[in-house]
Amino acid sequence: MKSLLNVFKPEVAHAHCDVPCGIYDPIVAQIAALSVVRMVDQMLALPKSDDVSYFNTMARYVTVKESEAIKCKEEIRIIWGDFIKGPQLEKYPELHTIVHNIMVLGGAAKQHVSREKAMAFLAEVNKFAEIFWALKGVETKVAKSPYFPNEDVVYPVV
């Protein structure tokens, strides 16, 4: 191997992330957070019953709510860990707090059936998305999601 390195003398490559930039997008996290809100809405609207179908439906809602909260947290962790670096943190020092809030609120969304907690989770994810797009130099807009629960989401203006 040393012989090959001496012959070819490769240059040192520098990269600031694990994958090529441009494929990061917080929309997956935002949709997951919206799904948490939707599942909470579904759970709160489901008429209580002793019928087994009630328990089956509730179990399905809980499963989706929990998996979507985990998905959201994972997506944010990936962007935060792989894309966000020192210069971005200097420009937006609140990013650490926002990410921490997302992690805590994601856990709370799993533990509780609380629309207030689910909406706080979505709000923090939207803050993260707004900063993410600003770092990319992309203007954003806030619009209602085109599907239930029809809540505000930060979208890039393309």
Residue 91 has pLDDT above 50, yes or no: yes
Give the span between the Cα atoms of 48 and 44, in whole angstroms: 9
pLDDT digits (tens, 9 = 90+) for 103-156: 999 999 999 999 999 999 999 999 999 999 999 999 999 999 999 999 999 999
**How many domains is the chain built from?**
1
The answer to whether the beta carbons of residues 102 and 62 sit under 8 Å apart is no
* 131: in domain: yes
Using pLDDT thresholds of 50, 70 and 90, give the confidence band for residue 14.
Answer: very low
* 59: in domain: yes
- CA dihedral for 52, 53, 56, 62, sign (positive or negative): negative
Q: Which residues pair with 144 in a beta bridge?
A: 152
Q: What would the mean pLDDT of 86-97 be, rounded to a whole number?
A: 96
* 10: in domain: no
pLDDT for res 48: 97
Q: Which domain holds residue 106?
A: 25-156
pLDDT for res 21: 54
H or E stretch covering 36: helix 27-45
* 12: in domain: no
* 137: in domain: yes
* 20: in domain: no
pLDDT digits (tens, 9 = 90+) for 72-82: 999 999 999 99
The domain that contains 120 carries what CATH number?
A: 1.20.120.400
pLDDT for res 23: 84
Residue 41 has pLDDT above 80, yes or no: yes
Residue 13 has pLDDT above 60, yes or no: no
Q: Which amino acid is at 21?
A: C
User: What average pLDDT does the structure give for the chain?
Assistant: 91
* 35: in domain: yes
* 7: in domain: no
